[in-house]
């Protein structure tokens, strides 16, 4: 339902602000509906469908779908305690068919081990309680299910070499994480590339981003940016084109997949050697 309503709005060439102005639907309500965080009331759904110019039989089919849309997918009850932007991201990721992820400092969340994820979350959220940390770790581990199954997510992950060199959680945790990356990179639906330090300055240095594409040919792509200033979703055609070109540029600057895995193996070996010396 959420994906279809986003597609219909895009086809009608309307922004969320346009919809609010035309229907008086609260922006937060529309955001929750389009991110599968809330089920639309029937009068709200009908107002949206009329604004988007939807006709029968699709009109009746969507109303019927809404009446049976009481499930939140794989989202667990405790996810209601997570930030709304993060649960929105989880919903989008679960629907996506293809994800292109660039990370400048971290291993991508879908490729993190539990211990690495815990170390990262504790460090970047120093004010979070132990319970909040564990909730986020559990959510991150559950998210990785999208990489398995009959129709697994196609993930293309590019990292700066800083992401594999920074010792997160200590040498043992990091060496385990690097070995996990090598294993993940050998799976057909996962491609991993690393931009080496030797490449010098590059277009990805300002920050990380995720570009999500969906199975339906008409579903609009979405960009997700996580920053100190907050989470941001972009869906304008100009932004999609700009970030698509940016990802292509980073892909060209990075080492090829085989060389990238060799670099990760080398880093893992060096990390393990450091562990032995420390012992």
The whole-number pLDDT of residue 123 equals 95
> Hey, what CATH topology would domain 77-278 get?
Endonuclease; Chain A (3.30.870)
Does domain 2-67 bear CATH number 1.10.260.40? yes
The whole-number pLDDT of residue 72 equals 43
Distance in angstroms (rounded) separating the CA atoms of residues 116 and 168: 7
Distance in angstroms (rounded) separating the CA atoms of residues 166 and 106: 9
Domain with CATH 3.30.870 in the chain: 77-278
The whole-number pLDDT of residue 77 equals 52
> Which tens digit of pLDDT belongs to each residue from 19-75?
989 988 887 788 878 876 677 888 888 889 999 998 888 888 888 877 665 444 444
pLDDT averaged per 10 residues in sequence order, the chain, 279 residues:
85 89 84 76 87 88 71 49 76 88 97 98 94 93 92 96 97 96 97 98 95 75 83 84 97 98 96 60
DSSP E strand stretches across the chain: 96-103, 154-160, 190-195, 209-214, 222-227, 230-234
Domain with CATH 1.10.260.40 in the chain: 2-67
| Residue whose structure tokens are 């990785």 | 144
């Amino acid at each position: 339902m959420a994906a279809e309503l986003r597609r219909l709005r895009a086809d009608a060439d309307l922004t969320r602000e346009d919809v609010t102005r035309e229907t008086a639907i609260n922006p937060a309500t529309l955001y929750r509906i389009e991110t599968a965080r809330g089920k639309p009331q029937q009068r709200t759904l009908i107002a949206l469908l009329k604004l988007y110019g939807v006709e029968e039989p699709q009109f009746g089919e969507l109303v019927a779908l809404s009446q049976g849309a009481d499930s939140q997918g794989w989202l667990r009850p405790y996810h209601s305690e997570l930030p709304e932007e993060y649960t929105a991201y989880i919903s989008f990721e679960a629907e996506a068919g293809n994800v292109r992820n660039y990370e400048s400092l971290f291993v991508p969340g879908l490729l993190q081990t539990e211990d690495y994820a815990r170390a990262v979350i504790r460090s970047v959220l120093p004010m979070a309680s132990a319970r909040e940390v564990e909730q986020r770790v559990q959510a991150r581990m559950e998210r990785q299910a999208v990489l398995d199954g009959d129709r697994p997510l196609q993930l293309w992950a590019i990292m700066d070499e800083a992401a594999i060199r920074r010792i997160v959680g200590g040498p043992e945790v990091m060496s385990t994480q690097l070995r996990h990356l090598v294993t993940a990179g050998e799976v057909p639906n996962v491609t991993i590339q690393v931009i080496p330090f030797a490449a010098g300055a590059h277009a990805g240095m300002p920050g990380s981003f995720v570009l999500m594409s969906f199975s339906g040919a008409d579903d609009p792509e979405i960009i997700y940016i996580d920053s100190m200033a907050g989470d941001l979703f972009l869906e304008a055609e100009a932004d999609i084109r700009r970030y698509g070109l940016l990802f292509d540029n980073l892909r060209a600057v990075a080492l090829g997949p085989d060389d990238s895995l060799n670099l990760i193996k080398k880093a893992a070996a060096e990390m393990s050697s450091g562990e032995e010396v420390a012992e």
